[in-house]
Amino acid sequence: MSVLIDILASAGLWAAVLRIATPLILGTLGALLSERAGVLNLGIEGIMTFGAMIGWLAVYNGADLWTGLLVAALGGAMFGLLHAVLTVTLGLSQHVSGLGVTLFASSFGYYVFRLMVPVAGTPPTIEPFQPIAIPGLSSLPFVGPAFFTQTPPTYLAIALAVVLAYILSRTPVGLAIRMTGENPHAAESQGINPMAVRYGAIIAGSALMGIAGAFLTLSAFNSFFPTMVQGRGWICIALVVFASWKPERALLGALLFAFFDGFQLRLQTVLDGVPYQIFLMIPYLLSIAALAVMARRARVPQALMQPYRRGER
């Protein structure tokens, strides 16, 4: 019991929680934005992989870290455009298109990586983002090292959650996105172009997914290796449901999830004799449990997964 308290009382755990949560926050926001406009983007896993690769590659070739994030966002947006053409213009199955985008984005990412970086015994590394201590706040006892000594993308992710919550609920753009996701025909009768809104939401959302991936290679680790995204994209899709399609809840959901993940990582070192695979399963099982609890209660955008064709019902 005292072991558990020791873990909970360590600032290291809470600092890790924010670090683990960052890619989940960014990815969940990206998926959420797209779904609020009515389009499920299962390309997320591949887009995160590609973002992780291309952001890292840019920095490896001399770009600075922020340019790396920007390149990852553009890379993500590119695959978002592809997904938008397939699901909005052509109105194809969002499930299958998204899986196709994931398979393409990840394999294309691996291909480019292998082409540009020869096989080596130890993977090449870059100098990642360093933690920035927020003046004043970071010198608070416990809270300072736990929450206010993070790398810049973490602060960015939290800020983006607040901004997206504001945009969706308080601005005309947000209203247009929500209307398109609930009833694109009604939106069109109000002079909104549902196709354009969906394009915008998918592309912007995919850019966030790209940044989510790049956080892994530019801040959490310092090198790229295949399969490093490890299903985080799928967890984000589950978190969107858990968050009931609300950005502020997505932030909380990602933090809660990261708490369990950080906690199990530390528990692993304490509990001997339990196979480590059991601990690694927890995030996935937790996501499934969260889905089972929330799926019926969550308010799904009514036009989610329905293609919109002018004049067709």
Partner 1 sequence: MRFERREHRPAALVIATPLIAVVAALAIAGVLIALAGAPVLTAYGKIFTGTFGSKLSATETLIRATPLILTGLAAAVAFRARLWNIGGEGQFYLGAIAVAAASAHLFAGLAPILQIPLLLIVGALAGMVLLLVPLWLRLRFSVDEVVTTLLLNFVAILFVSMLIDGVLKDPTAFGWPQSEAVDRAARLPKLLARSRLHIGLLIAIAIAFVVHFVQSRTVFGVQSRAAGLNPTGAVFSGVPLGRTLVFVAMISGGLAGLAGAIEVLGVKGYVTTDLSPGYGYSGIVVAMLANLNPLGVVLAALFTATMFVGADGMSRSMGIPTYIADVTVALSLLSMLVAVFFTQYRIRR
**Under a CB-based contact definition with an 8 Å cutoff, are residues 19 and 150 in contact?**
yes
Q: Binding segment for partner 1 among 70-78, 107-115, 138-146, 186-194 (CB under 8 A)? A: 107-115
Determine if 48 is a binding residue for partner 1 (CB under 8 A). Answer: no
Determine if 114 is a binding residue for partner 1 (CB under 8 A). Answer: yes
Sequence-distant (6+) residues with CB within 8 A of 38 are: 180, 181, 182, 184, 194, 198, 301, 303, 304, 305, 306, 308
Q: Binding segment for partner 1 among 11-19, 67-75, 164-172, 283-291 (CB under 8 A)? A: 283-291
| Separate counts of helices (H) and strands (E) for the chain | 13, 2
Closest-CA residue to 253 (of 20, 57, 78): 20
Residue 168 C-beta-side C-alpha neighbours within 13 Å? 22
Q: Which residue has the tokens 């397939």?
A: 86
**Residues 179-218 vs partner 1: string with x where CB under 8 A?**
----------------------------------------
> Any idea what the Cα angle at residue 80 is, between residues 78 and 83, rounded to 5°?
120
Q: Which of 7, 63, 92, 195 binds partner 1 (CB under 8 A)?
A: 92
Closest-CA residue to 240 (of 298, 178, 153): 298
Helix (H, G, I), strand (E, B) or coil at 117: coil
Determine if 291 is a binding residue for partner 1 (CB under 8 A). Answer: yes
Number of residues that bind partner 1 (CB under 8 A): 44
Determine if 61 is a binding residue for partner 1 (CB under 8 A). Answer: no
Determine if 120 is a binding residue for partner 1 (CB under 8 A). Answer: no
Both tokens assigned to 151: 């790398």
Whose Cβ is closer to partner 1: residue 63's or residue 298's? Answer: 298
Determine if 104 is a binding residue for partner 1 (CB under 8 A). Answer: yes
Determine if 271 is a binding residue for partner 1 (CB under 8 A). Answer: no
Determine if 93 is a binding residue for partner 1 (CB under 8 A). Answer: yes
Cα gap 33→197, rounded to integer Å: 11
* Footprint of partner 1 (CB under 8 A): 42, 82, 86, 90, 92-93, 95-97, 99-101, 103-104, 106-108, 110-111, 114-115, 230-231, 234-235, 237-238, 241, 275, 277-278, 280-281, 284-285, 287-288, 291-293, 295-296, 309-310
